[in-house]
Amino acid sequence: VKRILEDLAGFGGAPAFEHPLRVGAPNIGDRERFSARLDAAFARGWLSNDGPLAKEFERRVAQAAGTRYAVATCNATSALQLAIRAADLTGEIIVPSLTFAATAHVVSWLGLTPVFCDVDPLTGQIDPDHARTLIGPRTSAILAVHLWGRTAPAERLEAVARRHGLALFFDASHAFACTRGGRPVGGFGDAEIFSFHSTKFVNAFEGGALVTNDESLARRVQSIRNFGITAEDEVSHVGINAKMNEASAAMGLTSLDSIDRFVARNLDNYRRYRAGLAGVPGIRLIPFDEGERHNYQYVVIEVDPRRAGISRDTLRHLLHQENVLARRYFHPGCHRMAPYADRPPLPATEHLSERVLALPTGMSVTRTQVAKICEIIRVVVVNSQAIAERVPMEVGAR
Ligand code: T4K
């Protein structure tokens, strides 16, 4: 139990946890079922190229997303690129800056220009009003993000896209098995893209999928994913290899079998964080709308340094010393990363990226551990003045 400053690992106490607690530690389902699926693949002698496990995975992803088509890929980054190529996008694509670098990189990698959009300072979601002001003659699409598994304002983005004749895609890497207005994430815009990376709610080691109701888009993505092949000895498009292999599909299916268990744990952890951090000055848990379905995979707090008396980075430093490896998802905004650093400022993105901190959750984190993490944060904030006097200034800048 940590009660006073000297209990903290940064001030002479023992670290709260013997082993690191990581944001993004994988949710692992039933390992025997995984092994059985893998054994069946070995027995079939079919390990990739649209195998039966990948096809089954696609069926189940489409079902969860409420879409007609799902095309599984080797990761979400590739699926995003396939979407851009299949839709023949050109020129500029509007993307939020407060996201993982992949969202911006996929645009640049294909020779297009990402134009960075600001976010709502409370929710962190892309701001459709700002997006509208960024539309110019070269704009071909908006690529929005359902950040942290809360959802982007899809209806307003759809209205903007429709009015200006733009394509609209969603990077739904964080939002598998979530809903907005009761509708599953998956059916918004022209297509949505999920990540099934190991750190995600549903993991396939590495994996992704594009889901859509647009048959011709789905067919093109299917073909481009496999070298542009449309039939044996027939190549109709310039393509690439972005297929999902059978081992990943086996893992993805095994994860899908367990999503009720994963959500239950994540929801319990989220509620315990909410209760444990209630009333801690300057610490705001970014909420989920419990009227919707969420996967609760990203527990994110905003640290207001004036009210908490401590910066996000000092809090992170002290948590790391306790073996709580909190992450700055996402810092800085993409528009402040070296490849894009000549871009104009984005006030809300900069504000939030200096303040947000993702805390560990998922199947490897127990409710007792969550209670302990909350206790550490509370002790830090209560003692913020003494800490400010004793922690060297540069720690805050790390
Ligand atoms: N769009 C968005 C909005 C995304 O967040 C992402 C990926 C993408 C697109 C692209 O999706 P993919 O192409 O990857 O399918 C990690 C993941 O690698 C990345 O997939 C994810 N977002 C991002 C949010 O997190 P890093 O650079 O933070 O990875 P790393 O190595 O620092 O690990 C993250 C945390 O997870 C650490 O605390 C360690 C822990 N971890 C990681 C792995 C791989 C484990 O405990 N076990 C593991 O096996 O990017």
pLDDT in tens, 300-326: 999 999 999 999 999 999 999 999 999
| pLDDT at residue 396 greater than cutoff 60 | no
- Residue 246: pLDDT band (50, 70, 90) is very high
What is the value of ipTM here, to two decimals? 0.99
Tokens of 287: 């909420």
**Beta partners for 70?**
211
| Nearest-atom index, ligand 1, CA of 327 | 38
Ligand 1 in reach of 310 Cβ (< 6 A): no
Ligand 1 in reach of 203 Cβ (< 6 A): no
| Alpha carbon distances (Å) from 75 to 28, 107, 275 | 18, 16, 35
**3-class DSSP state for residue 344?**
coil
The DSSP code sequence of 108-142 is: HHTT-EEEEE-B-TTT--B-HHHHHHT--TTEEEE
Average pLDDT over residues 162-177: 98
Percent of the chain with pLDDT over 90: 97
Ligand 1 in reach of 199 Cβ (< 6 A): yes
Centre of ligand 1 to C-alpha 100, Å, is 9
Residue-averaged pLDDT of the chain? 97
Ligand 1 in reach of 23 Cβ (< 6 A): yes
**Beta partners for 209?**
72, 194
Give how far the C-alpha of residue 55 lies from the chain's centroid of Cα atoms, to the nearest Å: 24
CB proximity list for 219: less than 8 A, separation 6 or greater: none
Decide which of 3.40.50.620, 3.40.50.300, 3.40.640.10, 3.40.1160.10 is the CATH code for 31-257.
Answer: 3.40.640.10
pLDDT in tens, 104-144: 999 999 999 999 999 999 999 999 999 999 999 999 999 99
Q: Where are the domains of the chain?
A: 5-25+258-397, 31-257
Ligand 1 in reach of 75 Cβ (< 6 A): yes
Res 397: pLDDT:
44
pLDDT in tens, 342-367: 999 999 999 999 999 999 999 999 99
Residue with the nearest Cα to atom 49 of ligand 1? 198
Centre of ligand 1 to C-alpha 337, Å, is 17
Centre of ligand 1 to C-alpha 117, Å, is 23
Res 10: pLDDT:
93
Residue with the nearest Cα to atom 34 of ligand 1? 24
Among residues 198, 208, 183, 249, which one has the least CA distance to residue 70? 208
Q: Tell me: domain 5-25+258-397, CATH 3.30.470.20, correct?
A: no
Ligand 1 in reach of 222 Cβ (< 6 A): no
Average pLDDT over residues 177-187: 98
Residue with the nearest Cα to atom 17 of ligand 1? 199
Burial of 231 from C-beta contacts in 10 A (0-12 / 13-18 / 19+): exposed
Give how far the C-alpha of residue 243 lies from the chain's centroid of Cα atoms, to the nearest Å: 21
| pLDDT at residue 371 greater than cutoff 90 | yes
Centre of ligand 1 to C-alpha 95, Å, is 19
Average pLDDT over residues 224-245: 96
pLDDT in tens, 71-98: 999 999 999 999 999 999 999 999 999 9
| pLDDT at residue 394 greater than cutoff 90 | no
Ligand 1 in reach of 248 Cβ (< 6 A): no
Among residues 126, 72, 132, which one has the least CA distance to residue 97? 126
Ligand 1 in reach of 114 Cβ (< 6 A): no
Res 398: pLDDT:
44
Ligand 1 in reach of 103 Cβ (< 6 A): yes
